[in-house]
Structure 1
Amino acid sequence: NLNEKILTLAVTAEIKGMDPIYANDVYSSNEVARIYEGLLQYHYLKRPYTLIPNLADEMPTVSKDSLIYTFKIKKGVLFHDDAAFPGGIGRELVAADFVYSIKRLADPKLQSLGWWLLQGKLVGLDDWRKKYAEEDKVDYSEVVEGVQALDKYTLQFKLKKSFPQFLYALAMPFTYAVSKEVVEKYGKEFLNHPIGTGPFILPVFTQSNKIIYTKNPKFRDKFYPSDASEEFNTPYYLADAGKKIPFVEKIVVNIMKEQQPRWLNFGKGKIDVIGIPKDNFEAAITPDRALTDGMAKKGIELIKNISLDVTYIAFNHDDPLFKNVYLRRAMSMAYDPVASNKLFYNDLAVVAQSLVPPGIAGNIKGYTNPYVGPNIEGAKKMLAKAGYGGGLGLPEIVYDTASATVSRQMGEFFKKQMAKIGIKIKVVTNPWPQLQEKITKRKVQVFGIAWGADYPDAENFLQLLYGPNRSPGANGSGYDNPEFNRLFEVSALMQDSPERTALYEKMYRIAAEQMPWIFGVHRQNFILRHGFLKNYVASDFDQGSAQYLNIDLKEKAEILKKL
């Protein structure tokens, strides 16, 4: 369609629903953020990542002890039109909507997947949650001191103790604003009826292979940034400076689990931007890591982005088998992340030595983990030390993963690695939502997964191993180490400082030595975009980015002729 600006994207997994309190994976959180919004967001064109107001009118005032945060809410922001509102007309957003939304996150009946974010943080909220865990019905009208609407447009948070990452939490989908009327009208079907304040509308969500959003005709005046960091201070990124957003009329999100259909559709101009599949890397990228002439002549551009993430294979620490640190170390030493990097990441990733990625305080530059493979002879000795020499007496271990082709291949690779030391592995594949459910309900033994940063702080990675964060919190492995927990709790109260970094590094070393997971890699993304897609920025925090993207229809017509 060359008459309408349509952003066409592809994602690799099903979207499990559109309720912000369950958006604990990158796929769901990106879709939720097209419809819903939070108090804060990241500046689109600034690095290091910088928080700015979104639904807040300005950054909060903060008490001297850093325990009270007071926000003014933007006036005139409207929820999307919906039958849940009188006359079907969306009403104005108010401070009480955030109070309600935070309480939904804490509601024990809903079992939010994001409660870990605020657990133990706000005055009275944990007590409120505990009280209603034992009652038949939850009373949202009961005042909680830690989150209150002081008036129609004033919202106040009171922290129990210092929480340096608190403002980051208010930019995450878990804390986005929802309407009580909509939640109550649709009940259990609320996850399929997303009604927010955001730039795009999706009246009803259905689990299919395509999601189509339309531009919100009542979206408030919000403008493309006019200021940028040095790397974005170019005409490509600033041509739309000061213009009202969003620019596109529709977003079409295609669910494409397999790599080749995504690649073929990108080649035909039917997808605007794509991460290069491993099997097509050499067709797009030269040995010196530049774009091939053939691609460049088609108007295709290359973007490189080092991710704040880590891939890993987690052990379920509820299983007595994995209380055995020597077994965990043996399996890690048998695993070959160097070969995995070549097979699945085109040898672009960085082999992980522990859980904190390079680029943030807490990662120890130059650290070498003695239990990271490949070291088959060492693995065999360690397995014998575990009491299972040659794999004798060790039951078959079940490895769960997603059902996409590459995930299956990774599972088979893991199986072959473990066979080298006599460990038998059974690979089980699952649709993405079902894999997440199994992890949450502790119905897995070993599973392959990855974690991308929610915010640019090592705390967001370290909390994955903090005992009290066990499922349904972010600690899907259920690892629980008293010393690690103690260090985490001390560091969680500290502002950014050399002292806090030292504690982060101690936890990094504990994770490296105890091997609660088999560490994989920190990924680097090579992304291709068509020349007609404007303002595209590769980011670790993609939520809400579509509102800034633009399509040059005249350039699109010319580029399509070349494809």
Structure 2
Amino acid sequence: MTMKLKSLFITTLVLLPLISCTKKNLDTGVKTLRVPLSDDVKTLDPARAYDSISLSVMPLMNESLYQYNYHKRPFTLEPLLAESLPEISKNGLEYIIKIKKGVLFHSNEAFKGPRELKAQDFIYAWKRIGIPEVTSPGTWIFDGKVKGYNLFMKGLSKESDTVALKQSVEGFEVIDDYTLKIVLEKPFPQLVHILAMGFTAPVAQEVIEKHGHHHLITNAVGTGPYVLDQFIQGSKLILKKNMNYRKELYPQIPEGVKEPAMAKLEGKTLPLVDVVEFHIFKESQPAWLNFMAGKTDVSGIPKDNFSQVMTSSMGLTDDLKKKGISLHSYTPALMFWLEFNMKDPHVGGAKNKFLRTAVSHAIDFKVFNEKFLNHLGVHTSGVLTPGLEGFRNDTSKIPEFSIEKAKKLLADAGHPDGKGLPEIIYDVRGSGTSSRQMAEFFKVSLKKVGIKIKIVPNSFPGFLEKARNGEIQFSIGGWQGDYPDPQNFLFLLSKVSLPPGPNSAQYENEQYEKLFSEIEFMEPGERRVQLIHKAEDLVLADHPRAMSYYLKRLALYHKHVVGYRPNGLINNVYKYVDIQR
């Protein structure tokens, strides 16, 4: 078989299942939204889901008390499972929350019949986050904030899960079946944002008692607009409309945002499509071929196809417009960086600061941006993204690309031309082509100054598992903001987030910790901004990261897709999307 025929054969195999599925849906009138994913879904457990891929899926089945309005900017919280926003005491320590009545969990054999959501289901889920077997990266959301949660966490290693989950937490109280009370150690203005996170979704105790904690990794028993129909690891995940979902309506669209097709969605019952199919494409080209063939409905833009899609003025080419493809651009609260394990004897600690700084000078971000980011990356000096309080980008503090400076710093580190420096292990962040090519780019760049890199391949879930165990020496790190507050980015470098939390760099600095503990509980204001900048300066001085950058995003969708407005913060986007053929 010639290479050309072989390529055609493989492409046909990739497309056939989607072609068959699409024809069936058109014939039956079922509205199906087909979404590509770049890797496997690691988990559907709300206590565990904390990566961008899992969070594309899980919130469609598991809901929290609050959500962000789909259209209002700045981002505005609104009730989801809650009846209203919380009643907060004058001292900021007590929150009373009413939950909606008549909300049902998805059907499950653990239930004897229809199972209504109760206040106790939230308390159970919040305590479950701390159970060692669950290994949740979300313990930070309550630890040190909710009264008694720290003591609860300390006692867990001495008790079995069953006993521990029966223990009370002083700061959690069920007033009645539909009323919760939360008591804080001290005022924490971000708590309402926390209660919009997937970690806080309720869990029915009966499901865990019947199936065990690990059941929720590949199963979902939530209250959301979709129920899990199929989950085939490495292939696809299919959600179907929850026929017992309560009445939720499409929100009002502000003037200036409305488009004729979108305007017709106002007041319609959610969700809008019957089926959401997630198809896993670990390589960008099969994903792109399926989108261009109309077999998936939305897409990003692969770097190898960028010039075919975008003009020099960053608009869509006429060819794409003629095909009925539209563009949505946005700047999410999303950052990436090169990350060093600060506990590692070869790259971490104060003694290896010159080595880490040498890495910063050895990599040409302009070339990296062109090769891998299509010029959509913005090199930044800080740890925040645009739109967050305290954001600044002081370009004078960004290490310039200079082979000479990198070599001098490496010599200052005691390794002239790399002599005596052990090979550094670089873990690839996922199995896609782009991730592997980035690794090779870093390897070639660092070799020029005498730093040798050994590349270790990983699946994306495998990479995340290593990060949660603190087992990565050098890699690309990244963060998608959970809520629009700088605390959510600064905590990544706090000791409260050490593995299995998201501080996979294992960075610790007492001065930073003192600043962070003050920033975390402050209301927005000038004093808070000053402290944020001091904290950023400490990070710049210690250099646990190199080459930090934030991204502009471009999303494509076909003309039959209405209401698709990804923004990087709202994870249940697909319940607002319609198919109109």
Deviates more, 1:209-218 or 1:139-148: 139-148
Structure 1 CA distance for aligned equivalents of residues 419 and 188 of structure 2: 48
Q: Which of 156, 164, 167 pairs up with 1:132? A: 156
1:359-386 CA distances to partner (integer Å, 9 max, x unpaired)?
A: 212222444324x241211111111111
| 1:357 counterpart = 2:382 | no
| Separation of aligned partners in 1, 2:289 and 2:226 | 27
Q: Which amino acid aligns with 2:370?
A: K
- 1:300 counterpart letter in structure 2: I
Among 27, 31, 46, the alignment partner of 1:5 is: 31
Instruction: Tell me the distance in 2 between the aligned counterparts of 1:217 and 1:34.
Output: 14
Which of 140, 145, 159 is 2:184 aligned to?
159
- The partner residue of 1:21 within 47, 59, 63 is 47
Counterpart of 1:394 in structure 2 is 421
Paired residue for 2:123?
99
In 1, the alpha carbon distance for the partners of 2:229 and 2:42 equals 16
1:182, distance to aligned residue in structure 2 (A): 1.1
Report SS of the residue matched to 2:47. Answer: helix
AA of the residue aligned to 1:33: P
Given residue 179 of structure 2, which amino acid in structure 1 is its aligned partner? T
Shift of 1:208: 3.3
* Aligned residue-pair number: 549
Structure 2 residue 359 is the aligned partner of structure 1 residue 334? no
> Which of 200, 203, 219 does residue 193 from structure 1 map onto?
219
Structure 1 stretch displaced more, 18-27 or 439-448 = 439-448
Q: Name which of 68, 90, 93 aligns with 1:67.
A: 93
Q: Deviations over 1:112-143 (max 9, x none)?
A: 11112222111111111211222234332322
Displacement of 1:46 in angstroms is 0.8
Match of 2:196 in 1: 171
Please identify runs of 4+ aligned residues in structure 1 that moved more than 4 A: none
SS at match of 1:427: strand
What is residue 447 of structure 1 aligned with on the other side? 475
Task: Encode CA deviations 1:20-68: one digit per residue, 9 max, x unaligned.
Answer: 1111101112211111000000001111111100000000000001111
Q: How does 1:406-485 map to 2 (within 5 A)?
A: 406-485=434-513
Tell whether 2:433 aligns with 1:405.
yes
Instruction: Answer yes or no: is 1:313 the counterpart of 2:338.
Output: yes
Alpha-carbon distance in structure 1 between the residues aligned to 2:325 and 2:53: 25
Q: In 2, are the aligned partners of 1:193 and 1:204 still within 8 Å (CA)? A: no
What is the CA deviation profile of residues 311-335 of structure 1, one whole-angstrom value per residue up to 9, with x for unaligned ones? 1111111112221211111111112
Q: Which residue of 2 aligns with 1:539?
A: 567
1:220 is matched with which residue: 241, 246, 249?
A: 246
In structure 2, relative to structure 1, the CA distance for the partners of 1:373 and 1:400 (3 Å cut) is: farther
Partners in 1 of 2:523 and 2:53 — Cα distance? 31
Q: Is 1:54 equivalent to 2:52 in the alignment?
A: no
The verdict on how the C-alpha distance between 1:368 and 1:236 changes in structure 2, with shifts beyond 3 A counting, is farther
SS at match of 2:97: strand
**Aligned counterpart, 1:182:** 207
* Counterpart code for 1:384: A
Task: Give the structure 1 partner of residue 134 of structure 2.
Answer: 110
Aligned match of 1:248: 273
2-structure distance, mates of 1:515, 1:231 = 43
Cα distance in 1 for residues equivalent to 2:411 and 2:382: 24
Residues 532 and 551, structure 1, Cα contact 8 Å, conserved in 2: yes
**Residue 310 (structure 1) shift:** 1.1
SS of residue paired to 1:22: coil
Q: Is the CA contact 2:70–2:570 (under 8 Å) kept in the aligned structure 1?
A: no
Verify the 8 A CA contact 1:194 1:203 in the aligned structure 2: no
- Work out the percentage of aligned pairs sharing the same amino acid: 39
TM-fit CA distance, 1:203: 5.0
Q: How does 1:197-212 map to 2 (within 5 A)?
A: 197-203=223-229, 205-212=231-238
Give, in whole Å, the separation in 1 of the partners of 2:164 and 2:539: 41
Q: Confirm or deny that 1:550 pairs with 2:575.
A: no
Deviation at 1:466?
0.8
Question: 2:425 corresponds to which letter in structure 1?
Answer: V
Letter in 1 for 2:404: E
Q: 1:542 to 1:472 in 2, by over 3 A?
A: same
Greater shift in the superposed pair: 539-548 or 264-273: 539-548
CA distance in 1, matches of 2:365, 2:286: 27
Distance in 1, Cα, partners of 2:478 & 2:169: 35
For 1:207, the aligned partner's letter is Q
CA distance in structure 1 between the partners assigned to 2:181 and 2:286 by the alignment: 48
Asked whether the 8 Å contact 2:381–2:394 carries over to 1, the reply is no
Answer yes or no: is the 8 Å Cα contact 1:109–1:133 preserved in 2: no
Whether the 8 Å contact between 1:194 and 1:205 is mirrored in structure 2 is no
Question: Are the aligned partners of 2:187 and 2:521 in contact in 1 as well (CA < 8 Å)?
Answer: yes
Q: Which amino acid aligns with 1:387?
A: G
Deviates more, 1:77-86 or 1:113-122: 113-122
Distance 2:356 2:180 in 1: 47
1:85 deviation in Å?
Answer: 0.3
Secondary structure in structure 1 of the residue aligned to 2:251? coil
* 1:523-538 correspondence to structure 2 within 5 Å: 523-538=551-566
Q: What's 1:557 paired with?
A: none
1:499 Cα deviation from its structure 2 partner: 0.8
State the alpha-carbon separation in 2 of the partners of residues 418 and 112 from structure 1: 35
Tell which deviates more after alignment, 116-125 or 47-56: 116-125
Deviations 1:71-112 (A, max 9, x none): 0000010001111100xx331101111000100112234221
Say which SS state the counterpart of residue 310 (structure 1) adopts. strand
Secondary structure at 1:368's aligned position in 2?
helix
Q: Which runs of 5+ in 1 are unaligned?
A: 554-563
Deviation at 1:292, TM superposition (A): 0.7
Whether the 8 Å CA contact 1:116–1:474 is kept in 2: the answer is no
Instruction: Tell me if the contact between 2:381 and 2:393 (Cα under 8 Å) persists in the aligned partners.
Output: no
Offset of 1:550 from its aligned partner? 0.4
Choose from 315, 322, 333 the match for 1:297: 322
